[in-house]
Amino acid sequence: MNQRKPQPGRVRVAVRPQGAWRYLSFWVLALGPGEVEEGESGGLELALVPLSGRVQVEVGGQAFELSRRDVFSGPPSVLYLPPGSAYRIEALGEAELALGGAPAEGRYPLRLFRPGEMRVEMRGGANALRQVTHILGPHLPAERLILYEVYTPSGFWSGWPPHRHDGRMGSLYIEETYYYKIQPAHGFAIHRNYSPEDGLDELLLAQDGDLILVPRGYHPVAAPPGSNVYYLNYMAGEATGEARATPPVDDPAWAWMRQDWAGRPLRLPVGGKEG
């Protein structure tokens, strides 16, 4: 199953290419006050996204402070590290931080992307309206990495119409992770991965702190009434540079909804007058 539940300890959830797919690495760190995490990007470009709390990151002889109250309070700054970068992360209080990477050649330098550089997009309509924040979107320089934050309000859908980017139907092959935060924390989302060509069809209960992988196929998300849903997408695959902007391919059974976001809803009451 393409789901990882949060675990106690410093690394809450993680996925590596070995045994999962070819390109994308992703993990979430939870650090206590004063705790330090050190590492090296190796042959990967890395992107660091604060989820809550405050950290100081030292890399390339520079120090960067990343902070955020929580993911529902606004967009983050994103720190981009090229391959071969040694880093040191120190928590300045309780902190949670996402990291992810993909193979790269080192075409772009160390850089801090600030919220003012990020594009905010309202996608869809009716009860498929959601916010997509391009925190490291194709308009910003990276080799393979693409990062989005998506907000799906209570009772709404996202990833709609269902779409794919798995190398089929003319799409580019791009792997994707969904890291979920739910408001309130006891809420949930419904995540479906399905690929009719090979029999993949899994309906997953996404709870606060869960990581869900999209290795192939279509992948819509529903937020039930009372649950406001956030997910952080890290994406990487065969697309590089400007080709990262190549759009995915819609499920032909649902593509018509781009012209009618309401989806021809049933009128109530059925069979009589409301009394």
The mean pLDDT value of the chain amounts to 97
Say if 217 falls within a structural domain.
Answer: yes
Non-local CB neighbours of 128 within 8 Å, separated by 6+ positions: 156, 157, 158, 160, 257, 261, 263
* Whether residue 3 has pLDDT greater than 80: yes
Whole-number pLDDT of residue 89: 98
Q: Is 210 left (phi over 0), alpha (psi -120 to 50) or beta?
A: beta
Say if 17 falls within a structural domain.
Answer: yes
Residue range 204-244, pLDDT digits in tens: 999 999 999 999 999 999 999 999 999 999 999 999 999 99
Whole-number pLDDT of residue 243: 94
Say if 270 falls within a structural domain.
Answer: no
* Whether residue 199 has pLDDT greater than 90: yes
Say if 80 falls within a structural domain.
Answer: yes
Query: What are the φ/ψ torsions at residue 243 (nearest 5 degrees)?
Result: -65, -15
* Whether residue 150 has pLDDT greater than 70: yes
pTM recorded for the entire structure: 0.97
Residue range 64-79: mean pLDDT, rounded: 97
Whole-number pLDDT of residue 223: 98
Cα–Cα distance for residue pair 31/13, rounded to 1 Å:
13
Say if 272 falls within a structural domain.
Answer: no
Say if 274 falls within a structural domain.
Answer: no
What is the domain extent for residue 224? 8-259
In a 10 Å sphere around its CB, with 0-12 CB exposed, 13-18 middle and 19+ buried, how is residue 66 labelled?
buried
* Whether residue 273 has pLDDT greater than 90: no
Whole-number pLDDT of residue 18: 85
For the chain, the domain total comes to 1
Say if 166 falls within a structural domain.
Answer: yes
Residue range 5-43, pLDDT digits in tens: 999 999 999 999 987 899 999 999 999 999 999 999 999
Say if 2 falls within a structural domain.
Answer: no
* Residue 107 pLDDT grade (very low, low, confident, very high; cuts 50, 70, 90): very high
Q: What is the CATH number of the domain that holds 34?
A: 2.60.120.10
Whole-number pLDDT of residue 272: 73
Non-local CB neighbours of 132 within 8 Å, separated by 6+ positions: 120, 121, 122, 123, 148, 149, 150
* Whether residue 275 has pLDDT greater than 70: no
Question: For residue 224, which of 134, 123, 154, 119 has the smallest C-alpha distance?
Answer: 154
